Structure 1
């Protein structure tokens, strides 16, 4: 009885700690942490002279200085002790909780080499910690990751949706510029010429625009969208959208990207995507709408792209961190329990996080680090259920072995991975 109680207490204790860094025993191979100890810093950036959407009317288009807070994870100096915590707001924007992870606050950065940059962009609403599991995980593998608190779009300052529609790709581009301009030990290790962007939901919307998907003219006039036609800055074919293109960005991951479901892109816009693209989505997503996301995958004909599907998952597939234990309780200012913002009804969040970490490691490794060995992790039979396990007595794979690389037998169940090349 004592042993049974102790075993049961382990996962309960881990949940109570709100850990963002758990790797399940059945996690795919590349989800495992890398060799680097990691540090974390919180930085403040200000983008001057931006459109003040909250105070924009047809007659007045004031400007303001747009403040952004970011969380930066990075390889730390040898000997840095693992472990640290974060204070973060829940979905209600009022309850503050403590998250625990591997990064050491303000640790001395590693030195002697540079690392690719990965920008992480949350949903609406969200915050810079929503995908913190991924920020930490990639940093242990030799990346500098920067996660943005998008103003007017966080849990505690959620405001007009039109601000999010306009500012997502602008924020993403601006943060890359700021990271490139950093000086000192942290700035010295960042290689912005090899940058990736990961966006979830509205972050995915912004990442697609940033990757070349200009929006439709109709979407710039939506009454509920960005006022005064200012979204035309991102319209397909416009000079302003063309100017957003950034040669430093070499790869984009869009998780549950919102927008195709409400007509933000047409064939011309999707054909403008010119960065290698990986999409992740739940097959029953009713927010960004799975069939609409498939149209993005199919319409991005001018780049190589992949689509990872979690069968039976809804909009919370892949990206959100595990629901903090405090989110399990009702709150006064929401008509749903905050838990629902993080969790899926079918899939375990920790499991999805580990799968996301695996594929992000393969994709970013291939495109940002030229790690050719990562290609085989992306050359898969589309339906994991069709994968064949075939090995000899010594465990060596036989020619007809086709089970997904990096996944132990029986652990790729419920997943689809489709790929299309440029021109298809």
Structure 2
């Protein structure tokens, strides 16, 4: 009986929400599970992180616009978290303190690998490619920080945006997000490019913006689809988003303003649970504008962005680009992108407020597991299209679309038998619940 009681106590200790992360710190964003696919593991670089502000001058102030009047203009300030390969010299990683939860009030501390303000590590050859990360509505620049850190260890400079009017602390009318999301993404690309040429700036000579990847989640994914070339429909322009009607015409398919948004420096786009297709924001004509390679990621039970009529319809409608679709079977809208729910959100749920916890978590999938799978495939995808690395790119070429149908057949020496059709980089039994589809550019 004593041993049974002890076993129960041990089980309780390891399964309580806070203690699972007590081994080091609460709220780790850098966890790699033992069963993670091969490319999830961190790269060779130590990494630094800095917070910078950039200002997009003379922008339309969407929130203050009034029907029938010229909209007022303002200088739009964006805060960026920038991760980069660094000379860390054995310094201990710092913490990300004062990070707001979904409620916009509770502040938490996250822990990862980056050393604050570390000296940049200059690349041996050409400078590092850039990755831009764009959060959901609402969100913040730390929502995908697990992915930002992971990519920085692999030789990318990563800039994650706090989109004004769209964070947990300043969430405004939806129309601002609809209009500003693609504009912010392209502006940040230009701002980083400028800083990389500025004498004395830490980014000087560190970043090669001619090789850029764009990653967006939810409304960030919506923005990424527009930035990738898909202009919106008349129905989208007429959508009531709480701002004067017609303001979204700036992104209308075929318009000069949308054509100007197009940027050839963006070599690859990752759209995770992108919102809008299920609301008629794009049609076949608009989607034909996407020619940049794009990876769509979604949960098959996404009840926010939709699956069959949402993200999957985006994938099937993208006919002029090399495109992939990674599906987490039975996952909802939080598939793949958000960091693990901070311990404080568990505690708030115990107190009766489950909204912050539900903003990060999925009822079926473990978040760290999804993060690791995302890190693996984003590393492969950006490797192929941003770094032109054929070895990394080969992980996108899965022999069967539905992972559970793959056969794992290895010899004792670890080599694979002819009948082996398991996904590359996944150990036996670890690829269940995933589907990866691939479509190539139409021949017309």
Note closer, same or farther for the CA distance 1:419–1:217 as it changes in structure 2 (3 Å cut). same
1:132 alignment partner in structure 2: 145
> In 2, are the aligned partners of 1:16 and 1:325 still within 8 Å (CA)?
no
Q: For the residues of structure 2 that align with 1:5 and 1:229, how far apart are their CA atoms?
A: 60
Residue 344 to residue 15, structure 1, CA distance change in 2 (3 Å): farther
Instruction: Report if aligned partners of 1:122, 1:203 keep a CA contact under 8 Å in 2.
Output: yes
Find the counterpart in structure 2 of residue 286 from structure 1. Answer: 303
CA distance in 2, matches of 1:37, 1:324: 24
The aligned residue for residue 166 of structure 2 is 153
The whole-number CA distance in structure 2 between the counterparts of 1:15 and 1:344 is 24
Q: 1:365 aligns with which of 383, 386, 396?
A: 383
Between stretches 71-80 and 403-412, larger displacement belongs to 71-80
Is 1:412–2:422 an aligned residue pair? no
Task: Tell me if structure 2 keeps the 8 A contact 1:329–1:338.
Answer: no
Match of 1:379 among 381, 392, 397: 397
Match of 1:169 among 173, 177, 182: 182
1:258 matched to 2:275: yes
Q: Which residue is 2:58 aligned to?
A: 49
Instruction: Supply the distance in 2 between the matched residues of 1:100 and 1:84 (Cα, whole angstroms).
Output: 7
Deviations 1:291-311 (A, max 9, x none): 121110000000010000000
Q: Give the match for residue 358 of structure 2.
A: 340
Aligned to 2:231: 214
Name the CA distance, whole Å, in 2 between partners of 1:151 and 1:273. Answer: 26
Q: How far did 1:15 drift? A: 8.5
CA, structure 1 residues 33+103, in 2 after alignment: closer, same or farther (shift >3 Å)? same
Q: Deviations over 1:351-381 (max 9, x none)?
A: 0000000001000111111101123211111
Structure 1 unaligned segments of length 5 or more: list them.
none
8 A Cα contact 1:120 1:199, kept in partner:
yes
User: In the alignment, is the contact (CA less than 8 A) between 1:37 and 1:81 conserved in 2?
Assistant: no
Matched, 1:67 2:85: no
What is aligned with 1:93? 104
In 2, Cα distance between the equivalents of 1:41 and 1:161? 29
**Matched residue SS, 2:259:** helix
What is the TM-score with the length of structure 1 in the denominator?
A: 0.96
- Is residue 88–residue 115 contact of structure 2 (8 Å, CA) maintained in 1? no
Q: 1:252 Cα shift?
A: 0.2
Return closer, same or farther for 1:124/1:308 CA change in 2, 3 Å cut-off: same
> Quick check: 2:25–2:111 contact (8 Å CA) kept in 1?
no
Question: 1:11 pairs with 20, 35, 47, which one?
Answer: 20
Q: Counterparts of 2:206 and 2:386 in 1: how far apart (Å)?
A: 15
Contact 1:117/1:192 (<8 A) preserved: yes
In 1: Cα distance, 2:185 partner to 2:90 partner: 30
Unpaired runs of at least 5, structure 2:
none
Per-residue CA distance 1:308-335 (angstroms, 9 max, x = gap):
000010000000000001012348xx97
SS at match of 2:203: helix
| 1:95-126 CA distance string (max 9 Å, x none) | 00000010000000002441000000000000
1:299 is aligned, of 297, 317, 324, to 317
Cα deviation, 1:39-72, whole Å, max 9, x if unaligned, reads 0000001101111111111122111110100000
- Secondary structure at the aligned position of 2:426 is classed as coil
2:133 paired with 1:123: no
